[in-house]
């Protein structure tokens, strides 16, 4: 079976866009969360989010193209373009053996709500003819295939907050099974609109720390009170090792060595209380990578800052890794970026690969009051140099859908 390597990466995120800015953002000890200013949320229990500021789609698209794309597609184009250029792959691949897999949780929700209002106010004849191709969830994958002439596998994965973790895994399988030599994989999300806030608020899933937004996302802290929505995109170029070597790839970040997926089969929004499904995903990733649990040095946790979720993930890690759970490092970069929903898995895999590159652990910020039920080492508040050889990234979604990915030195 083909070994698969990561040769390009790109990010659009609230803490900074571009790999260098993103890495600085998640190791700076600062949070990108603030009060939402684009909408009047004065009547909402949660009025904070991690927004991508100063995003300019004209850097990647002409004005006409940009008008025909929802913000979630624009983010995908921006992050994918960085990954594509980073890989230096133009002119060095067979289009029929190159594909794309995109993870997205919600799709073009902004376009959907805007056009619904047009329908109510002005009638059906005034609906934008680009309404459907702007908002439909699979359109980012379609746009990327057109942009880079990717004629191989093309799919969109929707598994809530595990979406882009599963998307990366699906691309890995396509190469391992001989369907493709090169895959552009990742995820994108842009759902910071009133309807999404209202929905999550009604579930009481989000932090209400509106008076102190910078400290609202606090995974594994005793005083955590819910997640904070974010937006952004992350994409990776992955290819078979033989293809990367044959074309003389400029760089190889890491081997994408393992992928595991599972279902809790427990509840529509709550994790299994003992993290059984999450544990199964991690075990399957380890088996797929053919490495022992004690070989993992760092886990970028799903770590959403929800009371139940952080405990369940901690229990899962302890069950899978045994005594080694207390020797490895765990952190949640959602403490800085907020929760990027369907884009989280890919963005956090990129954070994990950058940790491997820089031999540095990104911290869990705002970890001030340890929770006795969360008793692992979560890299509190400051980055830490650490010898890293293999890293894991977890992404778990509503509906109990779980993905774990492993990258290692090559």
Task: Give pLDDT, residue 259.
Answer: 98
What SS3 class is residue 154? strand
Residue 323 neighbours by CB under 8 Å, 6+ apart:
none
- Burial level of 358, CB count in 10 A (0-12/13-18/19+)? middle
Residue 146 neighbours by CB under 8 Å, 6+ apart:
none
- Tokens representing 62 are 């002409």
Task: Give pLDDT, residue 1.
Answer: 84
φ, ψ dihedrals at 77, nearest 5°:
-60, -45
Residue by residue, DSSP assigns 118-153 as: HHHHH-GGGS-TTHHHHH-TTHHHHHHHHHHT--S-
- Tokens representing 100 are 């794309």
- Cα dihedral 194, 200, 202, 207, rounded to 10, equals -100
Cα–Cα separations (whole angstroms), residue 402 to 275, 277, 344, 396: 10, 7, 12, 4
Spatial CA neighbour of 234 closest among 109, 390, 101, 387 = 101
> What is the spatial distance between Cα 59 and Cα 304, in angstroms, rounded to a whole number?
32
CATH number given to 259-408: 3.40.47.10
Identify the residue whose tokens are 């980012």.
140
- Tokens representing 49 are 């989010």
CATH number given to 4-247: 3.40.47.10
> What is the spatial distance between Cα 54 and Cα 177, in angstroms, rounded to a whole number?
41
> What is the spatial distance between Cα 130 and Cα 117, in angstroms, rounded to a whole number?
15
Task: Give pLDDT, residue 387.
Answer: 98
Which strand (E) or helix (H) includes residue 113?
A: helix 109-122
- Helix, strand, coil percent values for the chain (each to nearest 5): 40, 20, 40
Residue by residue, DSSP assigns 298-362 as: EEE----S-HHHHHHHHHHHHHHHGGGGGTSEEE-THHHH-B-GGGHHHHHHHHHHHHHHHTEEP
Task: Give pLDDT, residue 232.
Answer: 98
Residue 303 neighbours by CB under 8 Å, 6+ apart:
219, 220, 309, 310, 313, 330, 331, 332, 334, 335, 364
Domain extents in the chain: 4-247, 259-408
Task: Please indicate whether residue 161 is annotated as part of the active site.
Answer: yes
**pTM for the predicted model, two decimal places:** 0.97
Annotated active-site residue in 49, 161, 347, 351: 161
N-to-C CA span, the chain? 16
Task: Give pLDDT, residue 127.
Answer: 97
- Output the tens digit of pLDDT for each of the chain's 410 residues: 899 999 999 999 999 999 999 999 999 999 999 999 899 999 999 999 999 998 999 999 999 999 999 999 999 999 999 999 999 999 999 999 999 999 999 999 999 999 999 999 999 999 999 999 999 999 999 999 999 999 999 999 999 999 999 999 999 999 999 999 999 999 999 999 999 999 999 999 999 999 999 999 999 999 999 999 999 999 999 999 999 999 999 999 999 999 999 999 999 999 999 999 999 999 999 999 999 999 999 999 999 999 999 999 999 999 999 999 999 999 999 999 999 999 999 999 999 999 999 999 999 999 999 999 999 999 999 999 999 999 999 999 999 999 999 999 99
Chain mean position to CA 289: 21
- Tokens representing 5 are 């390597």
Asked whether this chain's domains 4-247 and 259-408 adopt the same fold, the reply is yes
């Amino acid at each position: 079976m083909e070994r698969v390597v990561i040769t390009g990466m790109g990010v659009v995120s609230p803490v900074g866009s571009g790999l260098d800015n993103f890495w600085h953002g998640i190791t700076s000890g600062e949070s990108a969360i603030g009060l939402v200013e684009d909408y009047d949320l004065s009547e909402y229990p949660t009025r904070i989010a991690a927004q991508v500021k100063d995003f300019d789609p004209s850097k990647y698209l002409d004005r006409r193209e940009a008008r025909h794309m929802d913000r979630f597609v624009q983010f995908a184009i921006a992050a994918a373009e960085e990954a594509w250029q980073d890989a230096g792959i133009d002119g060095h691949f067979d289009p029929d053996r190159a594909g794309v897999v995109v993870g997205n949780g919600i799709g073009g929700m902004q376009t959907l709500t805007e056009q619904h209002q047009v329908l109510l106010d002005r009638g059906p004849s005034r609906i934008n003819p680009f309404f459907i191709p702007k908002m439909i969830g699979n359109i980012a994958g379609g746009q990327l295939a057109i942009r880079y002439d990717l004629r191989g596998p093309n799919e969109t994965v929707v598994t809530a907050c595990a979406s882009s973790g599963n998307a990366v895994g699906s691309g890995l399988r396509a190469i391992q099974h001989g369907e493709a030599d090169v895959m552009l994989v990742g995820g994108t999300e842009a759902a910071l609109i009133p309807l999404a806030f209202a929905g999550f608020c009604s579930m009481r899933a989000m932090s209400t720390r509106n008076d102190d937004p910078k400290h609202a996302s606090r995974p594994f802290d005793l005083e955590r009170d819910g997640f904070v929505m974010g937006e952004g995109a992350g994409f990776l170029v992955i290819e078979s090792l033989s293809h990367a070597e044959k074309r003389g790839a400029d760089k190889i970040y890491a081997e994408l060595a393992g992928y595991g997926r599972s279902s809790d089969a427990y509840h529509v929004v709550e994790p299994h209380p003992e993290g059984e499904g999450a544990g199964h995903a991690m075990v399957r990733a380890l088996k797929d990578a053919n490495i022992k649990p004690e070989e993992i040095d760092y886990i970028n946790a799903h770590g959403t800052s929800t009371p139940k979720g952080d405990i369940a993930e901690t229990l899962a890690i302890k069950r899978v890794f045994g005594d080694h759970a207390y020797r490895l490092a765990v952190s949640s970069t959602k403490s800085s970026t907020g929760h990027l929903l369907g884009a989280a898995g890919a963005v956090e895999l990129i954070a994990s690969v950058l940790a491997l590159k820089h031999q540095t652990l990104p911290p869990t910020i705002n970890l001030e009051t340890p929770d006795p039920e969360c008793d692992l080492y979560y890299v509190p508040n400051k980055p830490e140099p650490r010898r890293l050889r293999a890293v894991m990234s977890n992404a778990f979604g509503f509906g109990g859908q779980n993905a774990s990915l492993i990258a290692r030195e090559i």
